[in-house]
Structure 1
Amino acid sequence: MTTSAGGPGSWSENVLEYFLRNNQITTEDGAEIVWYHAANHKAQMYEALRSCAHMIEADVLLPGDESEHGQPIMAHPPEISSDNTLQEWLAEVMKSNKGIKLDFKSLAAVEPSMMLLEKVKRYLKCPVWINADILPGPNGSSKVVDAKPFIDTVTSFFPDVTFSLGWTTGWHPEKVNEGYSWTMVKEMEYICSGLSQPVTFPVRAALVRQSCSQLLWLLTKSNRYSLTIWTGKTDNYPTEDLLYIREHFNKNQVFYDILEPQNQEFKQAIGIKVNF
């Protein structure tokens, strides 16, 4: 993966290059990046800002979610209220040197959120990722965010922002869970091949091992592509799956936004110090 035009501080700058340049990591290894997930409410946001996390992930929605009016807030469905608006969230996070990933579950919240981001862009020199699930994926039942208007809206404000584009997924403990199919990865590549900015694909840890061929193929299609491994709260998968991914993919093309206890077990297994 390479840095796109825009230079240091640009939102398209590779996350590893950014944190390496700022002496916050030691090598171009995605496993060195520490994540704080769902920093939505003020308590979690402040905890994230105090933490050793490099990247803070949070969820944006528009109350009512169908109306074009209203103030974007920080909440993850089924929650539909919050003590934190996006405007307040950005005002605090902007003071830090942490990167941000904003996750959108609906199209309605995207444009008003981009307008708020535009106001703080010159103060926000860290990596910025904009995320949505744009395609149906393995066992996925959630509604997708319509890919073209999502990408077009974000790009109209920020042509060089890093996209995080995923699939809706599900995981069931009592049955065999299918992975990401060839159809799914080829459809994603078709959408992303026309883009010029970096794209990371969020993929569910419990579904990656059975999809390695497909995901390896996807990453060969562009040096702008990477994976972000994430986990559902109730997902059950062995740490060995993460070590398998580690062995088969380039270290600079995979990020790990995973929950405990796997996070600690994984980091210890690969010799990366875990800070809390």
Structure 2
Amino acid sequence: MTAAAGSPGSWSENVLEYFLRNNQITARDGAEITWYHAANHKARMKEALQSAVHMIEADVILPEDGSEHGQPIMAHPPEVSSDNTLQEWLAAVVKSNKGIKLDFKSLAAVEPSMMLLGNMKRYLKRPVWINADILPGPNGSGRVVDAKPFLDTVTSFFPDVTFSLGWTTGWHPQKVNEGYSWPMVKEMDDICSDLSQPVTFPVRAALVRQSCSQLLWLLEKSSRYSLTIWTGKEDNYAVEDLLCVRDLFDKSQVFYDILEPQSHEFKQAIGIKVNL
């Protein structure tokens, strides 16, 4: 089963279809897609734009102190300030051919951000992913973004966007970390089954191997679904965990937004050329 794809150039176009069409990857394999994470401040944004990555991820917040006249800025909590506004970020990224993923930690930033994206839509003929953690997950203590108003707000502006919908998670080196439970994946499917857009589920690499049965069940619920495996900076997990996922899941339904050195080791292990 392969992930559903929107029309060429639409925000719901499958990432693999888009980059294959532009001759930037060679196979319908999520492991070929490369990422730049937290491209928030201008220096990191410029580094991302000058790099060979396919997808740029950045975080959007609304300053609580009234700075920037209520304009969304690029920062990841607990940071509350930035040298980059979303408007400036979009103006720079639109000149590239890279896909984008915008991560929202609160509902307040969503509507003003969608308005800014609306001004750029005609120039952004590429995959656009809108991300939020909408459910509590394994060891999760962070605040979730209320799913219904988040989905309703984004969809009211852009019915053809790709959603990235996750769980809040934690990972503790000194204890056994539970994975994604059956109630967690079933609640996520309950929310997403009524959507028409593609949905990717960001899942934490250190928690995936113990959750394979649940995540396989989830992906089998719809051809619109995929996984994006991500890593926390301090997480301890083995490349073998990723290889296990690779063996069990359809290669077109799993993306790997992972940090070094595991990213390099993983790609070497599966025979994908690594650009240094």
Q: Place the TM-score, normalised by the shorter chain, in its bin.
A: over 0.9
Question: Are 2:91 and 1:91 aligned?
Answer: yes
Map of 1:13 onto structure 2: 13
Spell out the pairing of 1:191-210 with structure 2 (5 A cutoff): 191-210=191-210
Q: Distance in 1 between matches of 2:59 and 2:240?
A: 29
Give aligned-pair identity as a percent. Answer: 84
1:1-276 equivalent positions in 2, closer than 5 A: 1-4=3-6, 7-64=7-64, 70-276=70-276
Secondary structure at 1:82's aligned position in 2? coil
Give structure 1 stretches of 5+ with no counterpart: none
Consecutive unaligned residues of structure 2, counting only runs of 5 or more, are: none
**1:65 and 1:109 in contact (8 A); partners too:** no
Q: Quick one: which amino acid aligns to residue 41 of structure 1?
A: H
Amino acid at match of 2:77: P
Runs of 4+ in 1 over 6 A off after TM superposition: none
Q: CA deviation at 1:194?
A: 0.3
TM-score by length of 2: 0.97
Q: Once the 2 structures are TM-superposed, how far is the Cα of residue 60 of structure 1 from its aligned partner?
A: 0.2
What is the rounded CA distance, in whole Å, between the counterparts of 2:268 and 2:171 in structure 1? 26
Question: What CA distance in whole angstroms lies between the structure 1 residues aligned with 2:65 and 2:17?
Answer: 36
Helix, strand or coil: the match of 1:88? Answer: helix
Rounded Cα–Cα distance in structure 2 between residues aligned with 1:225 and 1:82: 33
Q: Amino acid of the residue matched to residue 242 of structure 2?
A: L
SS in structure 1 of the partner of residue 203 of structure 2: strand
> After superposition, what is the alpha-carbon deviation per residue over 1:181-203, rounded to whole angstroms, capped at 9, x for unaligned?
00000000000000000000000
Partners of 1:75 and 1:81 within 8 A in 2: yes
Deviation of 1:225 after TM superposition, in Å, equals 0.2
Letter in structure 1 aligned against 2:172: H
The count of residues paired between Structure 1 and Structure 2 equals 273
Distance 2:235 2:65 in 1: 28
Query: Per the alignment, do residues 8 and 65 of structure 1 end up closer, same or farther by CA in structure 2, a change over 3 Å counting?
Result: farther
Equivalent-residue separation in structure 2 for 1:107 and 1:144 (angstroms): 10
Deviations 1:94-118 (A, max 9, x none): 0000000000000000000000000
The alpha-carbon deviation at position 126 of structure 1 amounts to 1.2
The AA in structure 1 aligned to 2:5 is T
> 1:2 Cα shift?
2.0
Decide whether the 8 Å contact of 1:205 with 1:230 is kept in 2.
yes
Aligned equivalents of 2:261, 2:126: Cα separation in 1: 28
Question: What do residues 50-89 of structure 1 show as CA deviations (whole Å, max 9, x unaligned)?
Answer: 001000000000011899x601000001111100000000
CA-atom RMSD in angstroms: 1.1
Whether the 8 Å contact between 1:178 and 1:207 is mirrored in structure 2 is yes
Structure 1: distance between partners of 2:66 and 2:170: 24
Q: Secondary structure at the match of 1:247?
A: helix
SS at match of 1:173: coil
